[in-house]
Structure 1
Amino acid sequence: MIIVNNPEDIRDAIGDSCVTIGNFDGVHKGHQRLIDLTCSRARATDRTSVVVTFDPHPLRVLRNDAPPFITLTEQKLELLSQYGPQVCLLLNFTMAMAKLSPEDFVQKYLLDGLHMKEMIIGYDYHLGKGRAGNFETLSELGRKKGFTVDRLDPVSIDGAVVSSTRIRDLVQAGKVWPVLPLLGRFYQVKGEVVHGMNRGGRLLGFPTANLKLVDELFPKPGVYAIWVEVNKEVHMGVANIGKNPTFGNDALSVEAHLLDFKGDLYGSDIRVHFVQRIRDERKFSGIDELKGRIRKDVELGRQILSQPEAAIKVTRPDFQRTTSSKPQ
């Protein structure tokens, strides 16, 4: 997938295009269906498949109370690329862009810039000033400008429409297992391993990787069974999210204990996939009680991750699995 920020950078290099446009926060099953349809239509008509999205997310510009987003831009682009579009136009969203009418936006970015002949949008997508560019108005504009518009019906799983809001609510409630069918993957965060309080291995006997937090959305504080990617390999693990009340901390932290792992992780970028919540975070009477509870958490985590349905799903072509931590 080629990523461009200005359609002029690619206008002369592509022919006619089939375009889908959206925020794609989470790149969930609904988004995946939309991108797949766009790519298949483009192949059938010998056109270029293009995904148009925005950075920052428009809500970050238009509202002071924007929610935490499921995927930051880097991860969103990585995920989009896995579903096959040839081009991603990543537009810098500004207040000036927000004031463009649907017709002006389509003309400037999609027709002049991408030679769009077909647009495919989600069932609830709107673009342009005042969200005036809905399916009906865009279809009418297409009849005047020479492009067609199709709209994908909502994608439902377990009786409810798949949406970024639904996924966000589940993650924040700690219900990470039900997120799997909505995303097609476990919810994940990524970060650099940094020095923490040096209590895990030295004091408790369970060394932990402390993440430098860059993501916005985190599961409800507690203990989780996780998969951890390290240097393109995957390992079983258990993570604590919270403020470590036994030690009276104030700042939110994500600490991951990798099962059966030996090595120095400081400075490494790791990816944590949240599989299932084990328990709430709570304050213990002392070190011994905490150590005993951690031993139980580790055993529960191992049992959860050993189930076939808990297997990690990674499609990145350079990814490798460790034989020791695959579910049996």
Structure 2
Amino acid sequence: MNDVSRTRIFTRPDDVPDVLRGGVIAIGNFDGVHRGHQAVIRRAVSEAKARRVPALAMTFEPHPRTYFKPDAPVFRLTPLSLKARILTFLGLDAVIALPFDVALAALAAEDFVKSILCDGLRAQMAIAGFDFHFGRGRGGTPQFLEEAGQRHGFATAHVDAFSDKAGRVVSSTLIREALGAGDLDLANGDLGWRWAVEGEVVHGDKRGRNLGFPTANMNLPANCVLRQGVYAVRVRIDGAWYAGAANYGRRIQFGDGPAILETHVMDFSGDLYDRSIRIEFCRFLRDEARFASVDALVARMGRDVDDARHAVSATLSAPRTDLQAKLEDDAAD
């Protein structure tokens, strides 16, 4: 039933067509869709195939922690559009992104099960991670979900924590910390795909063009945790990939403004303004720095571009996961 040519996203159980009801539901925030999340999704897809029913993911927008602490919003590793795309590549038939609002926050765990899982989706099975909780006051514990399934007649399963070779449990929190440290090997390894951002190219001050290195500028969320500095990246434009050198920072050589992502796209010429592109992060090269002169900055930018080209080439020569391959070959723009 899965069709990756488009990603189906619903915000209410009532909107889900009958053909997608009566299936297996993977429940979680799935921010980053990291290797631990992928284990939950793969279990759901496997169970759905065995039952010959649809496989869906249920997630929440905004992140519940952001709802409860709006003054300290969680930096999202994957915005909904990209998250849903990745979930579809893992074999799911659709994504249900429930608005996490005052009504959902107040919904008791038993009412969540009855109104959403049973009446709304007619779930045959619900699968979640080992530590997932739901419902008012986080009353929907793993034990509660199992007992609720027995009462209401649907199967349940919880997937154990996913650990790396060193025995470290993979989590979205640790991936954010790795991005904050510029440790892309760790972050991308935990994700199982190269972390990326998507967005519209915005107008800047055209300074990069005057320096000989035109850039495509993108605004990232104000609470972005990414370490400021220079990165080797890949840029997706109209289905094609290009090597790039990106600076995420405040342009301290020319003042100290808000952080922005400025990407020099190699071997590309054309107007990107107001177009949406994807930037995939390969390697951290250096911290943002102030130079003694503009000429010194330009010389360093030239070395950065060379370093980035070599780093991207090395990245492409390394083995890639099946999910990474699907993201690279993604036909949707």
| In structure 2, distance between residues paired with 1:254 and 1:85 | 32
Code of the aligned partner of 2:92:
P
Q: Is the CA contact (8 Å cut-off) linking 1:190 and 1:214 kept in structure 2?
A: no
> Cα–Cα, structure 1 residues 209 and 87, in superposed 2: closer, same or farther, change >3 Å?
closer
1:209-288 matches, cutoff 5 A:
209-213=216-220, 217-288=224-295
C-alpha deviation, 1:208, in angstroms: 1.2
1:212-251 deviation digits (Å, cap 9, x = unpaired): 4358535211111111111111001100111111111311
| Structure 2 counterpart of 1:60 | 66
1:13-28 matches, cutoff 5 A:
13-14=19-20, 16-28=22-34
1:89-108 matches, cutoff 5 A:
89-108=96-115
| Structure 1 counterpart of 2:188 | 180
Q: Is the CA contact (8 Å cut-off) linking 1:70 and 1:216 kept in structure 2?
A: no
> Cα–Cα, structure 1 residues 91 and 28, in superposed 2: closer, same or farther, change >3 Å?
same
CA RMSD of aligned residues (A): 2.0
| In structure 2, distance between residues paired with 1:18 and 1:310 | 32
Code of the aligned partner of 2:86:
L
| Structure 2 counterpart of 1:326 | none
> Identity of aligned pairs, percent?
37
1:139-158 matches, cutoff 5 A:
139-158=146-165
Code of the aligned partner of 2:25:
V
Q: Is the CA contact (8 Å cut-off) linking 1:190 and 1:215 kept in structure 2?
A: no
- The reply on whether 1:169 has 2:177 as its aligned counterpart is yes
Compute the TM-score of the two structures, normalised by the length of structure 1.
Answer: 0.91
Q: Is the CA contact (8 Å cut-off) linking 1:118 and 1:148 kept in structure 2?
A: yes
1:285-314 deviation digits (Å, cap 9, x = unpaired): 111110111111111111111211287934
- The reply on whether 1:309 has 2:315 as its aligned counterpart is no
Return structure 1 stretches of 4+ with deviation > 4 angstroms. Answer: none
1:40-93 deviation digits (Å, cap 9, x = unpaired): 101101222121111122122112323211112222212211111123222111
| In structure 2, distance between residues paired with 1:215 and 1:23 | 21
Q: Is the CA contact (8 Å cut-off) linking 1:246 and 1:285 kept in structure 2?
A: no
C-alpha deviation, 1:263, in angstroms: 2.1
Code of the aligned partner of 1:272:
I
| In structure 2, distance between residues paired with 1:188 and 1:113 | 34
| In structure 1, distance between residues paired with 2:281 and 2:117 | 38
- The reply on whether 1:47 has 2:68 as its aligned counterpart is no
Gaps of 5+ in 1: 321-328
| In structure 2, distance between residues paired with 1:209 and 1:6 | 37
Q: Is the CA contact (8 Å cut-off) linking 2:176 and 2:225 kept in structure 1?
A: no
Deviates more, 1:44-53 or 1:309-318: 309-318
Gaps of 5+ in 2: 1-6
> Cα–Cα, structure 1 residues 244 and 10, in superposed 2: closer, same or farther, change >3 Å?
closer
Q: Is the CA contact (8 Å cut-off) linking 1:18 and 1:42 kept in structure 2?
A: yes
Q: Is the CA contact (8 Å cut-off) linking 1:62 and 1:95 kept in structure 2?
A: no
Code of the aligned partner of 1:315:
K
| In structure 1, distance between residues paired with 2:16 and 2:305 | 51
Code of the aligned partner of 1:198:
K
For residue 36 of structure 2, the aligned residue among 22, 30, 41 is 30
Compute the TM-score of the two structures, normalised by the length of structure 2.
Answer: 0.90
1:247-275 deviation digits (Å, cap 9, x = unpaired): 11311111101122222222221111111
Larger % of strand: which?
1
C-alpha deviation, 1:36, in angstroms: 1.1
